[in-house]
Chain A
Amino acid sequence: MLQHDVLIVGSGLAGMRAALEVSQDPGIDVAILTKVHPLRSHSGAAQGGIAASLGNSSDDDSWELHMYDTVKGGDFLVDQNAAEILGREAPENIFELEHMGCAFSRMDDGRIAQRRFGGHTAPRAVYAADRTGHALLTVLFEQLLKRGVKVYSEWYALDLVIRDNTCQGLVAYDILSGGIEAIQAKAVMFATGGYGRTFRITTNAFASTGDGVVMAYRAGIPLQDMEFVQFHPTGLQGSGILLSEAARGEGAHLVNAQGKRFMEDYAPGRMELAPRDIVARAEQSEIDAGRGVTEKGDSVFMDLRPIGEQRIRYALPSVMHLARDFVGLDPIQDPIPIQPTAHYSMGGIPCDVDGQVRLKDQDDAPITGFYAAGECSCVSVHGANRLGTNSLLEAVVFGRRTGRAIRDQVRDLAPTSISEGEMQPAVAEVDRFIRGDGSESVGAIRADLRDVMMDKCGVFREAGQLQECLSDVKDLQARFAKSRIDDRGTIFNTDLLDAIELGHMLEFSEVITVGAINRTESRGGHARRDYPTRDDEQWFKHTLAYRDDDGPRLTYSAVNMAPRHREAYPPEERKY
């Protein structure tokens, strides 16, 4: 049996940042377990920037303003103690990363450059051209190498073992050998990323299948605010591949088939730099009204030409290459067809501002030894809609805080154990596919699921379609129970992993849908055509979904309105 003091699952920004913090104490044995090599983690795909009120490009910025923008951007479902920490701790985190060697773009005077971003009132986005996530992921990996932190690379976590509200460790699968191992740990941290892969059009990597979220759910932990999924306004038409919001930050226009900058009808104060949920809905409304572009009419144009060739080349090289490589258009000369694309998971595993997973019930009971940070967690710092550049920031700020909490607490945690019986569910899950004789194709079920979720639980939602969505997902779950795979081998069996990931997608998709059916209001990323306004009287609260035998059981919990260093911002009408 393998054993560590601390086991971190996931090697993106949150996981690596936490590992660095824990490894500062050489007496603690910490390891990272990840299904892809750390440098392949999806944090690296973030493009436009990371927010911090450094004030380098403007004198008019402060952590309070950052906090306020975050709360308003999240349509007031944000826990304000968390938003306060995000704003206050952002600058020191950026400077720390800069001291580690991060390749940030610079101003003429040598300070870190900052640009504008949607929903932020000041130029607050620190960036590395338009590959900011890549620069951050790289620098954190360099630091891990320097410290020699143990990494289980290409290991897949199958099951989280929790007994009497205390985490015991994990059961994991070695992708290279096909072996199943129990790994005991006094502290387990999940930094396993988001769940956008369940939508047909998405920016997310193939790896973003909500594994950690579902493992926690199966272990009896409720999932929070899962119905809140962010659709990014500028995915490349067809594939949904992300074109950075930095393009609009630098001055790109959004234009409909009539050549009109339609954002003046939706957010005249901010135009293209309104928060993402508002821009994505504006686009979808234009498309639904028949003012879409291209043959299919399923997209609008993003026009980068106002930015100018020189600045596009310097500040947006990735956007330029993506458009050329994937749709064969040159943004220096052509407008680019874009469409809303599933991008970010606001919901996830409920935890406090130090990453401690909590049930958020009446006693707010902690799960001893279990922590979470980053996109898989729900602190909740983004509420109903995340602002651009706040995700990298969340991963770093709360990854660091979680690492520190673990470092301080792990010595007081009792030794743990995993029994043969507790390994059984994971062993059975693998066995069902390796030895099973089902008939349904995993690939076909996944394609159907992604269509169903996109078409019936997408940018706009409505009761009838959501009910259909739920019944479709249940049918797909039934088909999945009879599914089969081709590869029965033990070495690098990607067919098996695809199947297990699909099981996860089917499980959390049901939670998203049930949460969306119940929430009869529109708030942030959750937009109901049949309930078009926000209803604070009834719905100023977080959703918590527990796993019952016949599906998710929903309860609700209060939004935190108790920041420590200032008054809370009361809910107000959200206009831009």
Chain B
Amino acid sequence: MPTQRFLIDRYDPADDRAYEQEFSVDYEPGQTVLDCLNIIRWEQDGTLSLRMSCRHAICGSCAVKINGRSGLACQTQVPAAADRGDPIRIGPQGNQTVIKDLVVDSHKFMEQFERAETWLQPHEGQEPPVREYRQDKDEFDHWQHASTCIHCGACYSDCTVAAVDPKFLGPAALAKAYRFVMDSRDSRKQERLEALSRMHGGIWDCTRCFMCVEACPKDVLPMDAIMELRTEAIQAGVTNNHGTRHHKAFAGGVAKRGRLDEATLPILSAGFGPGAIPEMLGYTPGAIRMLKSRKLIAAARRHGASKEGRREIRRLFDEVADEKHHHDVNREAFGTQYAEALRT
């Protein structure tokens, strides 16, 4: 029987004490990290608390940090997490308050689904058909990956935006919003896209860091869903918002001049609506600092790239546009294979 050491982040709420504790577990080959945590609970120390239920990666209870990255304890084989005889480090999920040991308060994560109104909004005043709605198979195949979310919170736990902005809807809720935006049975595609574009913590606040795609134990691909929501929003004409303007000013500036224009970027991003003046005022301290460090002056001189450089950049833009096309085609062709490739 192989032996494995575990170093577990403990928290005792009774006396507000956080500490690390090491355990050594003899396990049978084939047993998972969750099996080992249960061996600890049932044979060594019953005070260790964690959530768990199905033990086969469908109920979403047992997402924890394993060596610093979020994942399901039940889905992780011990040798896969073990590294050169070091103990496997187990801790609670990030971006949420710890209640006890590996149990976190998941209210904040769950509330995001309500904020995003992730339920079907059928066509009002219109009777549903006697039998089922006809739903194009290609349509279903296109968004079904986003319906496989098990709400485990692994993506939210590793999300770099949720870490600094508690109002960010987070990868799971946004992926679920995407699923309803794309579902032909839903009547509020336009309203959803407008709300998700406008709201604090919506689709434009993702930084595309890929952490959610790596953390997800299923095939949800949350970041892809968020990017597709951006495309859908722009295509639906939902462009009068900071995110779209920023996106266009950034890309447009680079395409035109061959470099990022930091002087005009905030002005173009803020737009000309009623919120623009307060927003510009908000940038003033940063602008003053940039002036002091001569960064803004340099930007104001508008050093553009050479003619050849600009041509090269144009070519890159075209190539990326083409890649985007391939990317979509690939995802549909390979589905879960693609998800796996991204995860590994």
A contact set with B: CB distance below 8 Å: 36-37, 39-42, 44-45, 54, 94-95, 98-101, 103-112, 128-129, 131, 134-135, 138-139, 142-143, 145-146, 176, 205-207, 238-239, 241-242, 313-314, 317-318, 320-322, 325-328, 441-443, 446-447, 485-487, 489-495, 498
Contacts and interface: CB of A to CB of B under 8 A. Distances in A.
Interface stretch (B1-9, B131-139, B259-267, B290-298): B131-139
Given A36-B53, A45-B56, A317-B335, 7 more contacts: A40-B61, A44-B58, A99-B185, A101-B180, A239-B55, A325-B75, A486-B45
Given A134-B58, A325-B57, A491-B14, A142 B118 contact: yes
A486 B46 contact: yes
Interface in B287-309: none
A94 B219 CA distance: 26
Contacts of A98: 132-133
Contact of B13 (A242, A313, A317, A491): A491
Given A36-B61, A42-B53, A106-B137, A95 B132 contact: yes
Contact of A45 (B32, B50, B59, B148): B59
B56 A322 contact: yes
B42 interface: yes
A45 B132 contact: no
Contacts of A42: 53-54, 59
Given A109-B134, A110-B135, A207-B53, A491 B100 contact: yes
B59 A40 contact: yes
B231 interface: no
Contacts of B59: 36, 39-42, 44-45, 205
B97 interface: no
A95 B135 CA distance: 13
B58 A146 contact: no
A242 B56 contact: yes
Contact of A313 (B43, B131, B133, B337): B337
Given A40-B61, A143-B119, A110 B46 contact: no
Contacts of A101: 119-120, 122, 180, 183, 185-186
Nearest to A326: B56
Contacts of B331: none
Given A39-B60, A176-B99, A206-B52, A486 B47 contact: yes
Contacts of B119: 101, 142-143, 145-146
5 contacts: A42-B54, A110-B134, A134-B58, A138-B147, A313-B335
B245 to A, nearest CB: 33
> Which of B13, B60, B118, B119 has the most A CB atoms < 10 Å from its CB?
B119
A40 B60 contact: yes
Contacts of A493: 49
B54 A205 contact: yes
B188 to A, nearest CB: 12
Contacts of A134: 58, 148, 150
Contacts of A103: 140, 144, 147, 179
B254 to A, nearest CB: 39
